[in-house]
Amino acid sequence: MTEQMQANSGASPYVSVRWQGDSLGQLELLDQTLLPEQVRMIPIQSVEQAHEAIVALRVRGAPAIGIAAAYAVVTGMQPLFHRRASIEESVSQARSLCDYLATSRPTAVNLFWALDRMRRIIARNSNVASAVELTNQLLREARQIHDEDRRMCHAIGEFGASLFEPGSGILTHCNTGGLATAEFGTALAAILTAHYQGKQIQVYADETRPLLQGARLTMWELQQHGVPSTLICDSMAAQVMREGRVQYVIVGADRITARGDTANKIGTYGLAVLARYHQIPFFVAAPSSTFDLTIIDGADIPIEQRKSEEITAAFGKRTAPLDIQVYNPAFDVTPAELITAIITEVGVIHPVSEDRVRSIAGRGLSSVE
């Protein structure tokens, strides 16, 4: 990589989540529902607003949800400062904030993982002198979760890029870039790293119905980084594979079980089936914070069901009759046997087996307390 490329690859032109100031400071989110038309950071003034932002996908993508929720706990503690709440009340409030934020979205395990880390900080600091002191510790932990994710993304990028032959076509689904993480992404980090290494890759991005994360967000990110890329409708993936335009498929993950079954954006499972038929390697890229080693079978992953209007009247345009039945699961589960390799920040899991998942994910950055 040349120095210029290195410089480019390190600096992200946008951030999805940021905290300004000390524990009296403010959470800001890049409102992803406005992209690609507007790039706007919104201030988050309350925990309820943070909860709404996660539910409405203003902030989305498994790692970014976890980071935003961690900071939102700090936001939720701020009203206690003004009325000099007791430490007992502060601890109880901090726990309630974690419980409340955990109700926002059910599938991405990073949310629960980040909130568990915040709960551990609450438990360790239940004897400190004031709400401010407890909140300072909570902010420190949120910043650490944020920083770790940044480092994990860059490491995933390096491991992932090493798997791509120069000149390849790469198909991806949903959005797994800097918008979905602290910086750079997971599957998209592998793509961006390969691009900055000068590998001359060509990306095909699924538009990702119904909410178009691929069209609105991934194409926007690829454009910011100047990566040669082509948008396709989800239904075109089979044809693109048959025409020999792609040599790899790479996607992110919302939750990976101990044997490697992977929940990711709806449509991922279909892509894995297509990739197997066309003998194309199918890669999943995710940090260790996305693994849920308490679950073995992917059928046990809770799948978020979203509103029917996202299919019948998304983006303000009615595209189906009123009063019809709609099924709108936000995620599906790809069985481990369809996954060629899982790329993490500590190495590549290949072949995908329970032994290898447990040994590599267990060594991840996120498992260090």
Q: Which stretch binds ligand MRU (CB under 6 A): 56-64, 218-226, 307-315, 349-357?
A: 56-64
The one among 29, 134, 174, 205 contacting ligand MRU by CB under 6 A: 174
Number of residues that bind ligand MRU (CB under 6 A): 19
> Is the preceding peptide bond at 228 cis, omega within 30 degrees of 0?
no
In terms of CB distance, is 23 or 261 closer to ligand MRU? 261
Name residues whose C-beta falls within 8 Å of residue 323's C-beta, 6 or more positions apart in sequence: none
The one among 93, 137, 213, 288 contacting ligand MRU by CB under 6 A: 213
For ligand MRU, the binding residues in 278-297 under the rule CB under 6 A are none
The one among 58, 209, 265, 356 contacting ligand MRU by CB under 6 A: 265
Q: Which stretch binds ligand MRU (CB under 6 A): 128-136, 139-147, 175-183, 319-327?
A: 175-183
The residue length of the chain stands at 369
Contact between 74 and 135 under an 8 Å Cβ cutoff? The reply is yes
Q: Which stretch binds ligand MRU (CB under 6 A): 223-231, 252-260, 295-303, 341-349?
A: 252-260
In terms of CB distance, is 63 or 76 closer to ligand MRU? 63
Q: How far apart are CA 178 and CA 198, in angstroms?
A: 20
Residue numbers annotated as active site: 254
Rule CB under 6 A: say whether 264 interacts with ligand MRU. Answer: yes
Q: How far apart are CA 274 and CA 237, in angstroms?
A: 8
Shortest distance, position 219 Cβ to ligand MRU, whole Å = 14
Q: Which helix (H) or strand (E) holds 102?
A: none
Which residue(s) pair with 251 in the sheet?
Answer: 284
The one among 29, 31, 35, 63 contacting ligand MRU by CB under 6 A: 63
Q: Which amino acid is at 245?
A: R
Rule CB under 6 A: say whether 298 interacts with ligand MRU. Answer: no
In terms of CB distance, is 185 or 260 closer to ligand MRU? 185
Q: Which helix (H) or strand (E) holds 250?
A: strand 248-251
Rule CB under 6 A: say whether 222 interacts with ligand MRU. Answer: no
CA distance to 42, 176, 186, 234, 328, per residue, from 220 (Å): 19, 12, 16, 17, 25
Q: Which stretch binds ligand MRU (CB under 6 A): 82-90, 125-133, 247-255, 359-367?
A: 247-255
Which residue(s) pair with 17 in the sheet?
Answer: 29
Shortest distance, position 90 Cβ to ligand MRU, whole Å = 31
Closest by CA to 254, choosing from 14, 98, 65, is 65
Q: Packing angle between helix 109-124 and helix 87-101, nearest 10 degrees?
A: 170
Q: How far apart are CA 231 and CA 271, in angstroms?
A: 15
Q: How far apart are CA 158 and CA 58, in angstroms?
A: 28
Site string for ligand MRU, 329-368 (x = CB under 6 A): -x--------------------------------------
Query: Rule CB under 6 A: which residues touch ligand MRU?
Result: 57, 60-63, 108, 174, 176, 180-181, 185-186, 213, 252-254, 264-265, 330
